[in-house]
């Protein structure tokens, strides 16, 4: 489980870094709200927004599945999510060629696997 917490913490730091990046860009470009029609601003806002939309649900699903599956599965899913989200953010910001595509695909695979594992575990539970 420690790997999960490290990855969750690092994802939090990624969120903070992307927030600061958007804020600094807003100041530099003098765009107070929205993206101002600026492609670079739009990419920065969406890199941050996509992380905030996707990571919490995936982390929650992995965390809930951790009650039923071993350390290796939870660690693998956590590390894969972290790598996927870094790739995606790097791709959105133009730092990692094809990072957006690779990050999106990997993120969806991690969420899919964690969700399937959780659903299977839930089917095996008995209700009182």
Whether 128 is covered by a domain: the verdict is no
Give the pLDDT band (50/70/90) at residue 1.
Answer: low
Token reading at 40: 């670079």
pLDDT digit string, tens, across residues 39-80 = 999 999 999 999 999 999 999 999 999 999 989 999 999 999
> For residue 11, what is the domain's CATH number?
1.20.120.550
Looking at residue 60, what is its pLDDT?
97
Q: What is the 3-state secondary structure (H, E, C) of 86-103?
A: HHHHHHHCCCCCCHHHHH
Looking at residue 81, what is its pLDDT?
98
Looking at residue 87, what is its pLDDT?
97
- Residues 104, 9: Cα–Cα separation, whole Å: 20
Q: How far from 70 is each of 45, 57, 62, 66, 120, CA to CA, in Å?
A: 36, 20, 11, 7, 14
Q: How many structural domains does the chain have?
A: 1
Token reading at 66: 């951790």
- Residues 77, 57: Cα–Cα separation, whole Å: 13
Instruction: Write down the pTM of the prediction.
Output: 0.90
Phi (first) and psi of residue 38, to 5 degrees: -90, 125
Query: What domain range is 114 assigned to?
Result: 2-122
């Amino acid at each position: 489980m420690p790997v999960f917490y490290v990855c969750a913490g690092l994802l939090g730091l990624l969120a903070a870094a992307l927030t600061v990046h958007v804020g600094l860009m807003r100041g530099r470009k003098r765009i107070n709200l929205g993206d101002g029609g600026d492609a670079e601003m739009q990419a920065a806002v969406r890199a941050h927004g996509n992380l905030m939309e996707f990571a919490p649900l995936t982390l929650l699903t992995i965390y809930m599945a951790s009650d039923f599956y071993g350390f290796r599965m939870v660690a693998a899913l956590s590390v894969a999510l972290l790598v996927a989200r870094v790739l995606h953010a790097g791709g959105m910001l133009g730092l990692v060629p094809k990072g957006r595509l690779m990050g999106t695909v990997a993120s969806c695979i991690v969420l899919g696997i964690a969700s399937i594992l959780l659903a299977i575990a839930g089917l095996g539970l008995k209700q009182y």
